Structure 1
């Protein structure tokens, strides 16, 4: 069935520098899939993603095909993803029709386009809101057509409060869910659905701005974190350079993943952030130690690739950009090596602000370094400046000392 396309499939994998052993595994997965398609009476035109999901979910758990076949689900999923790209590139497999993705998936795609084109929201915010709205729509409508006129205030409240599944949500989580649902209802209201009034009925959590204290690392803890990248760490120089960007410049994980070689001006000693959360271009000074770590990675560990990103994949396919999750995983692994239970990467950004405040920088300059649009966003770090707070603290009533 796939015989005429085996050569193209092998070239596809070889061009992306997959190891010979990996190519053999993926070919075995494709052969197993072809055997199952034939047994099911399906042809090449039926070998789409839906058939691949059926193969993984229904056949693999009970597979008794003779050896050698590959039965590991993650290997099969990866092999079939490559197969579908090759088949579509050769014109052997039709592109999925919009109607095949289901009403909820189609609705979420339109909602995402609205948030990007109309609201100008960052990709991370859009992903979060799509996930929340998708969970609500799936729980409410399943595979049925979306009858938004039937939505009630009680259903929205139960979803936000978590009373339907017995869970207890934090105020911060409830606020995120409220924001996502209100954004979606505004989107549907613009499309002509009579749901605009529902947005005002969604409960608002008691979550006061600047009420909490940011978690920060002490200078000693930062040194411990940076010292955890020993020689035995895989891709050590890449990991160390990434963490230096986080601890020295306060970059977000997504900004580190998107850094391009053209963003570095070695002569001027600057770093350009062109794909930040605020969708504007910022220029930051490049600290000596940060630049040294990046240069050490570029010269000593970065694989040869056409990818213009600073930090690239160290496993095939090399020419594809890394994702934010790579940066997050590197930081969490460093936390574990330090014996900490922390998981949030944003702690490092908080720590940069706290360090700058201890050095005496005014909040305006700290806001500029962190690229905050509002000075209020940076004001929360004044609450952890113990030295200055002590200077203005009033004595406790009744105490003589």
Structure 2
């Protein structure tokens, strides 16, 4: 057993080293993994048969041991690193970790079958984007779980608008009107599928009504030129690998107004250095467009690729700045952090879209035709571009007419 444990520790160390983890982090993972294996040996348990319950039992034991050794309880997040080390170790030992939950109750199996069928219909029949399917599936799972817990699988036959209202009341707290309208739209899709497949006898979709929304009622957050310049200047001062990466991302956002997903999916082969062009895959319609590779963007990309990007096999340009070095999937935290560092506080949201909005306003003020603005932003229709017209509020004020004064009759 001890030889097998030594082999697992060596395999874990090699894996973390190959993933470019810092040597100190590798040593910590080895330490926590070894302590867990020693515990298994004392309890005469095989690592190949360990269950999540037994891992929880070990962490409780380790917490008590920590308190006995140091005379105080560990911090609330102390267990994160040991659990991470154990998860990596068990993934090597068992092949898959955590193990798949066994379906015991027939109602659970029935609910999962409905979800699988619904997901297949959204993907194959409706051809929706992955992000849209993920949002619809989350609502479907949540609603079906809630309904089954209340009345079981048989309750679908008796589903009424009363249950729909109760579910909407459950989802409403803390949501804005737009978010609640999205919940109603997703719920209509789920209920429509249940009725279409004969699981609900009555079509309840006309009765699922969200809050009334008015076209262009809200003004999105945006940045002016001075704020964008401040963010770029502050970020450029950070010469670390993370700073080089973030500066290149901010240049792409400010120059082209790309979506976060389009930047995360940008690959090495999408940059044509000879022709000085950039290929963009739009996340919402999977179409491609080509942009000129402007000098500031090209220089920022080169600096990051040469001095900041880790040596990894991933083809995505932008990867995490710490191990494991995998492609980035979210930019919101990075953008909000860079805005705060530059002292820029836009009203409302502070994610990547504020740069997209700013780019749209800049083109509007330059009298760029609406169709071209939509093409640059990757919109399918002009209706999507219309939402940006309300951002040019100062321009609208310049052409506003004075309200005529009322004449007072003597």
TM range (shorter): 0.7 to 0.9
The Cα of 1:136 is off from its aligned counterpart by 3.3
Distance of 1:289 and 1:82 partners within structure 2: 41
The alignment status of 1:10 with 2:13, answered yes or no, reads: yes
Distance of 1:115 and 1:77 partners within structure 2: 36
The alignment status of 1:124 with 2:131, answered yes or no, reads: yes
Over 3 Å counting, the alpha-carbon distance change for 1:305 and 1:169 in structure 2 is closer
The Cα of 1:381 is off from its aligned counterpart by 2.0
The alignment status of 1:200 with 2:203, answered yes or no, reads: no
Is the contact made by 1:242 and 1:256 (CA closer than 8 Å) also made in structure 2? yes
- Counterpart of 2:163 (choices 150, 155, 159) is 155
- Residue 84 of structure 1 corresponds to 90
The alignment status of 1:370 with 2:374, answered yes or no, reads: no
Distance of 2:82 and 2:113 partners within structure 1: 27
More displaced stretch, 289-298 vs 71-80:
71-80
Distance of 1:38 and 1:153 partners within structure 2: 57
- Residue 258 of structure 1 corresponds to 265
The alignment status of 1:308 with 2:315, answered yes or no, reads: yes
Distance of 2:222 and 2:121 partners within structure 1: 36
- Counterpart of 2:81 (choices 67, 75, 82) is 75
Is the contact made by 1:263 and 1:272 (CA closer than 8 Å) also made in structure 2? yes
- Counterpart of 1:321 (choices 323, 327, 336) is 327
Alignment of 1:103-182 (within 5 A): 103=109, 108=115, 111-142=118-149, 146-147=153-154, 148-160=156-168, 162=169, 164=170, 167=173, 169-182=175-188
The alignment status of 1:240 with 2:247, answered yes or no, reads: yes
Q: Which has the larger radius of gyration?
A: 2
The Cα of 1:387 is off from its aligned counterpart by 5.9
The Cα of 1:297 is off from its aligned counterpart by 0.8
What SS does the aligned partner of 1:212 have?
coil
- Counterpart of 1:27 (choices 25, 30, 40) is 30
- Counterpart of 2:341 (choices 337, 340, 343) is 337
What does the per-residue CA deviation read over 1:13-36, in whole Å, with 9 as the maximum and x for residues that have no partner?
A: 222222222222222332343455
Distance of 1:149 and 1:175 partners within structure 2: 26
Query: TM-score, structure 2 length as denominator?
Result: 0.82
The Cα of 1:183 is off from its aligned counterpart by 2.1
Over 3 Å counting, the alpha-carbon distance change for 1:150 and 1:51 in structure 2 is farther
Query: TM-score, structure 1 length as denominator?
Result: 0.84
The alignment status of 1:383 with 2:390, answered yes or no, reads: yes
Structure 2, unaligned runs of 5 or more: none
What SS does the aligned partner of 2:157 have?
helix
RMSD: 3.4
Is the contact made by 1:222 and 1:247 (CA closer than 8 Å) also made in structure 2? yes
Distance of 2:318 and 2:30 partners within structure 1: 30
What SS does the aligned partner of 1:283 have?
strand
The Cα of 1:53 is off from its aligned counterpart by 5.4
Distance of 2:404 and 2:47 partners within structure 1: 83
